[in-house]
Structures are given as C-alpha cells and as structure tokens.
Chain A
Amino acid sequence: MSATTPDNTAFGGKHSDWRRVLSPTGNTGDAIFRLVMLGAGLFVVAIVVAKVVALTSDSMLSIRQFGFSFLTGRQWNPIKGEFGALPFIYGTIVSSLIALLISVPLSLGIAVFLVEQAPHYIARPVGFLVELLAAIPSVVYGVWGIFVLAPFLRVYVEPPLARWLGWLPLFQGTITGIGLLTGGIILAIMVTPIISAVVRDVLSSVSGSQREAALALGATKWEMIRVVLVNGAPGIAGAVILGLGRALGETMAVTMVIGNRPQISTSLFEPSYTIASAIANEFTEATQDLYLSALVELGLILFFVTFIVNGIARILVWNVTRKTGGVGRAA
C-alpha cells in the first residue's frame, strides 16, 4: 500500500498509523482483514492486466511481422509462413450470427413463456431444465454434434435447404453435415439458455404496473407482452450481446463440427474455421516461433473482442435490472 506512507507523515501520532488508513476503527485485526480482501480484489485487476501484457508480449513477433495485414490477410499457410486471420474472423462472425438468428427468437419465446404465462409450479422446474442446457460442457455438445447432429443435418436438413433455397449462394456446395451451418446450430443451442436466463431477469424486473396498465386499456395478452418487451428492450439487447460474446469464444463444440478449414466461402455447407478453434486445434502443433506468435495474437484478438462485447452487455443489463428488481434483490 503506497497510501500508507504519506498518511503516516501527514498526521503523526499513535492513532494515525497504517491501521487507521485501512480501517476506520484502527483495529489491527480489521486492518489485516481489509488488506487481505483488498489484495484479493486487486488480484482480479492483476489477472486482467497480466493477460493483456502476456498475450501482447508473446504475439509481438507476429504483430511486428504482419502489422495490420494480419487482420486482412486471406492466406493461413503455416508451412509457407503466411499468417492471415481473415478466414478465422469470417468463420467466427458468420457462425455466431447464425447462432443469434436462431437463438434470439427462441430465447425470447422461452423467457416470455416462463415469466408471463407459465404458472409458478411449471415455470420453476421448466426454467431449471432450460438452465441445465447451460450446464452441459462444450466438449459434450461436440460429441453429440459429430455423431448425432451432423449426420441428421446431412440427411434431413441440408438436402431440402439445397433443393428449395439452392438459388441462394448460402445453400450451394457439397453437403457433408460438417461446416458453418452445423457450427452455427450447435452454438445456437449453447447460447439459448444464457440469453433466455438474462431475458427472464430483465422481464421480471419490468414493473407490474406496466402490465396492469396495458391490460386495463383492453390489450390482449400478446399486446401486453409487447409492452413489457419494449420496456425491457435495453436489457434484452444486453442479453443478446452477452450471447454473442459467448458464441464468439465457444471453442470445443465448434472445433468438432465446423470442419477446421481456413477458407472464406459464402456457402454455409462448406467447412470453415473460427478464431477459437484455430487456437485449440493448432496450438500444440506450432513449432516455429512465428506460428506460435500468430496463434497467440489470435488469442489476443479474441480477448479484446470478448472483453468489449461483454463489457457493453453488462452495462446494458445492469442498467435495467439494477434500477428495479436488481436493487431489491441486492439489498
């Protein structure tokens, strides 16, 4: 504690020693207690700082070599020493967008059902079951994805898509069951419990008077729900962004079903690669310094992106839930 020194000299006397600085009572036990807990709090700050420093310093080689072109390069060829991250960035963004496209309406439906419609004795167990989806580990989703979901999509979903929507470039190409679409769908299943849980909190914190007012004006149940959704809109946006953050960084399940080929293809049936799966898949193979450094730089990018995305989401969700329900719960 650097603050102890100036305080000692400024006040003098036996009551204004280091204990006073740390604890208003000047009790030695309290001072030690507060110092230890403060240390734990600062440890969290230290983890974040250490992450930034360690990831940046270990990716310096790659940053110096490629500079900004690392983000725009389309070639990822470790043998030739070419490292461009664009295929990974593309795969990460597209798979996450597919995930959100499916999971956002689904999660909103679940949250509305659990908060606005289901009676308590149904909402509780059903809510628990939906939350259990979040307890399933990523690698288990991956196992299920390889052996069950991918063959299912290859036989029952992708052929009809190709037949009816094949005029779109999105649904052209070879049907293998392994690719962007499968990765996006498995991500959708994984982020649904996360988004729906936060939307549930947000909807619960919308004041009951909003509902009563809407119903008293003659609104139907659905019209009342729309009023509630509009009221919770910032929090719902936060929930969606939170889900996005999770989808961007999800690793194992995606690695197992997305095909792991660094290419940019408009077809959702084609294999792709994400930032996280590239790190998981290639890290132990990287023997040259530059290769390893490029992979660490991918990690650094993922860290910054998810840090910002999560930060924004937290602020949005806090603003809604802390104003009403959150404060009541905290106090």
Chain B
Amino acid sequence: MTEITKSSDQVRRLTSAVMTSLTALCTLLAIGILLVILTYIAWQGIGSLSLRFLIDSPHPVGEGGGIGNAILGSVVLLALSSAFGLPIGIAVGIYLSEVGKGRLAGAVRFLVDTLTGIPSIVTGVFVYAILVLPMKQFSAFAGGVALALIMIPIVARTTEEMLRLVPHSLREGALALGAPQWRVTMGVILPATASGIATGAMLAIARVSGETAPLLFTAFGSRFFSTYLDRPIASLTVQIYNYAISPYDDWHAQAWAATLVLMTLILGINIIVRFLTRKRF
C-alpha cells in the first residue's frame, strides 16, 4: 500500500480509468472475434448453399454434389451416441446427487470433472483400440460409442447440478409420505427438474455434434449414403475437415457451406437453451 499513498491522487484515478477501460476493450475484442468468425461463415457459406446441396451426395471435384450423406451420417451418430450417452450420463448424475456418499462418490465426481478435460482425440484412440481393431473395420457404431463417451461426463455434471437445485423439502416431503427413495427420485425429483436436465442434454448434443477428432478413425467417413452401423459412415464435421484441407477451390466453397449448416445447428441449440433457461438464471 505504500506505493499507493506516495503517488498522487490524480495518477491513481488515471490508472484506474485506464485499467477499467482496458477490461472493456478485452471484452469488445472477444465479441469482435466472435462476430468476425460468424459473419465470415455466413458470407462465405451462403453462396454454395442450396436445397440440392443439402440432399445430394458428394460428387467428384468440379461437379457439384452435396452433403446429404454427411447430414444423415451425423444424425445417425448423434442418435446412437444419445441412446448410450444420455441414460448413462443422467444415471451418473443421479448417483452423484442422490445416492453416492463418501470417498467413492468424491472419486467419481473428480473423475467426471477430469474426464470432461481429456482431449476427445484420446477417446478416439481408445475406441479404436477397443472396437475398431477387434472388429477390423471402421464403423458408425464405434463413432457413436466415441461420442457417447464424450457425452457422459457432460450430461452427468449438468444433471447433478440440476438435481442439487431441487429444494430438500421436496425430498423430505415425499419421503415423509412413505415413498421409497427410488420413487421419490424418479417420480418427484426428476420431473421437478426435467427441463433442466433436458437443456443439459441438448447442450451435450450440441457439443458432440461439433466433434471431429474422435470420428476420424472410428466412424472414418464415407462418400455414400449409409445407415449401416457396422460400416464407415460420413459426418458433417469430418466432411468439412476433408474438404477444407483439400487443394480444390470447389471443395473449399463446399466446406464453408457445410460449416454454415453445422454452425446454424449448434448456435440454434445454444440460443434455444439460453432462451428456455432465461428465467431460471
């Protein structure tokens, strides 16, 4: 504090004004970058976007073609990962909030938190080792499992947080009426916070729909329409990646358009969730 008392009042006020405006500048910079990225995607993507682009399968370079197979593939992968990931994730959340106590629950909570920070490419390598190698084939199933593994910790965390928001009086009231714990949880606590868990699930789906790295050597990608779970399958993100690193301008344009489609989906989910949860926060 000595340096402060030594310097004059004016210098202190000036420093304060400069530093506080700098923080506003930081915020403006971040928002500026966001807007630049989004407008670039919209501007570059809108040119190649058409109904045909959305439903056609890829053609050789220069002959147009679309991302219909990739959209279908992403839908299959998301459905598959949600089918595995959401129930398990929600169950882990229930365990952490309602059932688990002591060291084991603490360890599980720590692992859930840490798993969210493990790079998704590591999950890709893991699924390659346990599914692709034994099956000797890239498959939609392996891709779905990889995405589900990424989903589980995210869903578990949001579910736990949502369950903890439910007032204790609700639990005690239901227990006092003689209901067993499972009925209290499944019949009272879960319905009370269903919308919160649903929004958490939507955010998790939005998050994994942008994942590329874990799909590169699990779902692999494909240039054809496919819904076979034991074959390689296309996805929007892998297609964007392959087109973007290709040397062809035609495919670059398609990469931008596919990016626009992906971003519309992801931003759409995020904004809807924000709108739905507006009252609660």
What string of 1s and 0s marks CB contacts (under 8 Å) between B95-125 and chain A?
1101110001101101111111111111111
Q: Chain B contacts of A239 at CB under 8 A?
A: none
Q: Chain B contacts of A47 at CB under 8 A?
A: 115, 149, 152
Q: Chain B contacts of A213 at CB under 8 A?
A: none
Q: Chain A contacts of B19 at CB under 8 A?
A: 222, 225
Q: Chain B contacts of A114 at CB under 8 A?
A: 27
A296/B125 in contact, CB under 8 A: yes
B267/A37 in contact, CB under 8 A: no
- The CA-CA distance from A144 to B212 in the complex, in Å, is 15
B210/A137 in contact, CB under 8 A: yes
Q: Chain B contacts of A21 at CB under 8 A?
A: none
A157 within 8 A of B: no
B99/A132 in contact, CB under 8 A: no
B31/A130 in contact, CB under 8 A: yes
* Contact with B181, one of A33, A106, A252, A302 (Cβ below 8 angstroms): A33
A76 within 8 A of B: no
* Contact with B267, one of A58, A132, A311 (Cβ below 8 angstroms): A132
Using known A-B contacts A40-B91, A106-B30, determine if residue A29 contacts B266 with beta carbons closer than 8 Å.
no
- The CA-CA distance from A302 to B37 in the complex, in Å, is 29
Q: Chain B contacts of A221 at CB under 8 A?
A: 16, 20
- The CA-CA distance from A96 to B216 in the complex, in Å, is 23
Q: Chain B contacts of A303 at CB under 8 A?
A: 118-119, 122
Q: Chain A contacts of B119 at CB under 8 A?
A: 248-251, 276, 302-303, 306
Contact count band on B: 35 or more
B216/A48 in contact, CB under 8 A: no
- The CA-CA distance from A144 to B260 in the complex, in Å, is 12
Q: Which residue of B lies closest to A305 (CB)?
A: B119
B125 to chain A, nearest CB (A): 4
* Contact with A29, one of B104, B122, B152, B183 (Cβ below 8 angstroms): B183
- The CA-CA distance from A43 to B112 in the complex, in Å, is 11
Within 8 A of B (CB), among A232-291: 242, 245-246, 248-252, 256, 276, 279-280, 283-284
A137/B237 in contact, CB under 8 A: yes
* Contact with B262, one of A37, A137, A330 (Cβ below 8 angstroms): A137
A23 within 8 A of B: yes
Q: Chain B contacts of A117 at CB under 8 A?
A: 20, 23-24
- The stretch among B46-54, B193-201, B222-230, B240-248 that forms the contact with chain A is B240-248
A256/B244 in contact, CB under 8 A: yes
Q: Which residue of B lies closest to A331 (CB)?
A: B164
Using known A-B contacts A44-B108, A306-B117, determine if residue A222 contacts B164 with beta carbons closer than 8 Å.
no
Q: Chain B contacts of A27 at CB under 8 A?
A: 180-182
Within 8 A of A (CB), among B29-52: 29-31, 33-34, 36-37, 40-41, 44
B23/A112 in contact, CB under 8 A: yes
B25 within 8 A of A: yes
- The CA-CA distance from A106 to B120 in the complex, in Å, is 26
A220/B16 in contact, CB under 8 A: yes
What string of 1s and 0s marks CB contacts (under 8 Å) between A100-132 and chain B?
000001111110111011100000001011101
A271 to chain B, nearest CB (A): 14
Q: Number of residue pairs across A and B with beta carbons under 8 Å?
A: 272
- The CA-CA distance from A40 to B12 in the complex, in Å, is 56
Using known A-B contacts A23-B181, A40-B95, A109-B23, determine if residue A139 contacts B210 with beta carbons closer than 8 Å.
yes
- The CA-CA distance from A276 to B92 in the complex, in Å, is 29
Using known A-B contacts A41-B100, A109-B26, A313-B117, determine if residue A223 contacts B12 with beta carbons closer than 8 Å.
yes
A40/B240 in contact, CB under 8 A: no
A323 within 8 A of B: no
What string of 1s and 0s marks CB contacts (under 8 Å) between B1-20 and chain A?
00010000000110110011
Q: Which residue of B lies closest to A193 (CB)?
A: B30
* Contact with B92, one of A40, A51, A223, A302 (Cβ below 8 angstroms): A40
Q: Chain A contacts of B105 at CB under 8 A?
A: 41
Q: Chain A contacts of B216 at CB under 8 A?
A: 280, 283-284
B175 to chain A, nearest CB (A): 9
Q: Chain A contacts of B88 at CB under 8 A?
A: 40, 43
* Contact with A38, one of B99, B120, B164, B252 (Cβ below 8 angstroms): B99
A25 within 8 A of B: yes
- The CA-CA distance from A260 to B16 in the complex, in Å, is 44
Can you list 27 pairs linking A and B with CB atoms under 8 Å apart? A25-B181, A30-B181, A40-B94, A41-B96, A57-B129, A106-B26, A108-B26, A109-B27, A116-B23, A130-B31, A133-B34, A136-B37, A139-B212, A140-B41, A140-B262, A140-B263, A143-B256, A144-B37, A222-B19, A225-B20, A246-B117, A279-B125, A283-B125, A284-B216, A302-B122, A309-B117, A330-B164
Q: Which 4 A-B pairs have the closest CB atoms?
A: A137-B210, A249-B119, A109-B26, A33-B182
Q: Which residues of B contact A (CB under 8 A)?
A: 4, 12-13, 15-16, 19-20, 22-27, 29-31, 33-34, 36-37, 40-41, 44, 88, 91-92, 94-96, 98-100, 104-105, 107-108, 110-126, 128-130, 133, 149, 152-153, 156, 161, 164, 180-183, 185-186, 206-207, 209-213, 216-217, 220, 237, 240-241, 244-245, 252, 255-256, 259, 262-263, 266-267, 270, 274
